[in-house]
Amino acid sequence: MSGKREDETFLPGRGKVRKNHPLLEALGSVDELSAFVGVARSLTGDEELRKALKKIQEALFNIGSYLAVPSHPLDRVKLCMDELKLFEEVMETKLPHLTRFIYPGGAEAAAYLHVCRAVARRAERTLVRLGDTMEVDPLTISFLNFLSKFFFTAARYVNHLSGVADEEWR
């Protein structure tokens, strides 16, 4: 036994926090998303997308720092979102128009980008819940909401580059 309480953790900007606190759930969700983005980044062969995914990880680290230390600025998040919107538009111009829902999957990198989309949605929900107990900068929630759409487009883009057609749900 270490003598310390195993049901608490210390955050530099917040002190001791119980491990079941919504703040730690939010931090964990953002960290999990970053980990899946890292997997997708390691699997994609497209250099521009790889760079975009690295920027996303940097922004997610920025959000994690803000959640742990509320005075931490979110400057990278807004900049990242603006840059990603432009890249998303480029990807969309190369994709066929969707008329139906599609199944997540396809190329391995695309499948992981679909996982990123789902985890981003969950992380967004955890930050909304956290906002019920403490102040949460709306930019963090907007960014996660944006990411889910970005990951969907990126997954379709990777499949397109890989010669894998979207599999429509009927």
Q: Which domains does the chain have, with CATH numbers?
A: 8-95+104-161 (1.20.1200.10)
Give the span between the Cα atoms of 64 and 44, in whole angstroms. 25
Judge whether 102 and 168 are in contact, CB under 8 Å.
Answer: yes
How much is the pTM?
0.93
Helix, strand, coil % over all residues of the chain, rounded to 5: 65, 5, 30
Q: What token pair was written down for 39? A: 């997997």
The tens digit of pLDDT for each residue in 114-150 reads 999 999 999 999 999 999 999 999 999 999 999 999 9
Judge whether 102 and 167 are in contact, CB under 8 Å.
Answer: yes
pLDDT on residue 10: 77
The tens digit of pLDDT for each residue in 94-110 reads 999 999 999 999 999 99
Judge whether 153 and 97 are in contact, CB under 8 Å.
Answer: no
- b/e burial code for range 43-59 (CB count within 10 A of at least 16 → b): bbebeebeebbebbbeb
